[in-house]
Chains A and B, each alone.
Chain A
Amino acid sequence: MKKDNPVYVVIFTFIICILFVSGLALANDLTKDRVAANRRFAGQSAILTALGLTYTDQAEAEKLFEATVSSIVDEAGNDLQPPAWRGTQENRAVIISQFSGAGLWGSITIIVVADPDTATIRGLRVIDQNETPGLGGRITEEWFQEQFRDQPTTNGRIAVSSGAEGSSTAQPSSVDGITGATRTSDAMADITNGALDRIRAIADGSALTASQNGSKQ
């Protein structure tokens, strides 16, 4: 059959698509457990680090996670969306909530650990962000995230000061923002306060009714 014959073209395209797509499906299938484990580990390690716990490897992290953290479900028994967990930190009950909000370029997703009454934030981790590298992107740096450890709030709210680094020391419920990234700093304050509101709603039970948890059909 000639190469330019339409029948040949169709058959050739069909066969080559099948071959390559099957190859991809196979590769995906062979690695999917590993990929899922990586994703689970990424989530768990963010929560453990936010709780201030340390671990040496993936297996230990998994054990530690099972021992200290349990997922919160609503009245219908479904996981909350975004997920939230109860945990213990230094023999104290804490609530852990994942929360997302708009940053400067894209959405920022954080994990916040706080006392159920949100008087004190116990830890914070940024798990996903698309801010300007070197400016807003610095919210993933250790010094920024560690500021939230045992950070007291005022009526369950915090502020991220937009002045120079170090200017927040005067106000007790304020952490340093990032110089040159005012919009990202503001967004971090909004998202953190949103997470704190949610933690209070989880603690008083109002976030646990099935209608509040809009994720399921």
Chain B
Amino acid sequence: MKNSPALANLKENIWTNNPIFVQILGICSTLAVTNSMRNTFIMTFGVMMTTALSSFTLSAIKQLIPRKVRMIVQVLVISFYVIIIDIILRAWLPEVSRQLGPYVGLIITNCIIMGRAEAYAQANKPLASFWDGLTSGLGYMLVLMTLAVVRELLGFGSLFDFRILPAGFVSWTIMIMAPSAFFLVAILMWLAKTIQSKPARKEKT
């Protein structure tokens, strides 16, 4: 892979065009799974792999796909990879599979995956699409992991299930429940947007 376009793509997907901050995609799962770092990591890893592999596949067969059934084929390919991930978890990580429950299946409906298939994989080569999917997933993972650090630390007093805060710490129940993800996502977006808009302001003055 050539360095400069790949790097530019990485920077775009992680920062300037981050799926959560900028595209505001995949918010449902952001609210649901981020109260535990372990579950968040596994789920976002699943999203990352699905986005990369489905973008790769869709890009590889893009010449053959009739426009009329384009979306049906996208959903088919995405579901295929998600079910494969679900099968792998059930066979080798049954405990994780049980904890994630329906969230693995719900990766199928994560808008980021279809968004990348539509916006990028349709018009680019397979390897570049793979990279684009992977980095988009990474951008998603980084934001969710940031949320999970705050929520698990304050909600359970632990990180990756290891107790960090002293036993006397009164955990913040709100951090475990979905509403906390709403305001944490909002705060993160606010911070990211503020930082992102700074250079632009300088240029104007």
| A residues in contact (CB < 8 Å) with B | 3-4, 8-9, 12-13, 16-17, 20, 23-24, 27-28, 31, 34-35, 38-39, 41-42, 130, 132-135, 180
Contact = CB atoms under 8 A, between A and B. Distances in A.
B76 A16 contact: yes
B84 A24 contact: yes
Contacts of B94: 35, 38-39, 41-42
B87 A28 contact: yes
A20 B80 contact: yes
Contact of B69 (A12, A24, A35, A39): A12
Contact of A135 (B77, B84, B88, B176): B176
A137 B73 CA distance: 39
Contacts of B88: 31
B69 A180 contact: no
A24 B176 contact: no
30 contacts: A3-B67, A4-B66, A9-B66, A12-B65, A12-B69, A13-B69, A13-B72, A13-B73, A20-B76, A20-B77, A20-B80, A23-B80, A23-B84, A24-B87, A27-B84, A27-B87, A28-B87, A31-B91, A38-B90, A38-B91, A41-B94, A132-B176, A132-B177, A133-B35, A133-B36, A133-B177, A134-B35, A134-B156, A134-B176, A180-B173
Interface SS of A by simple majority: helix
Given A12-B69, A31-B91, 4 more contacts: A13-B73, A34-B91, A133-B176, A180-B173
B203 to A, nearest CB: 45
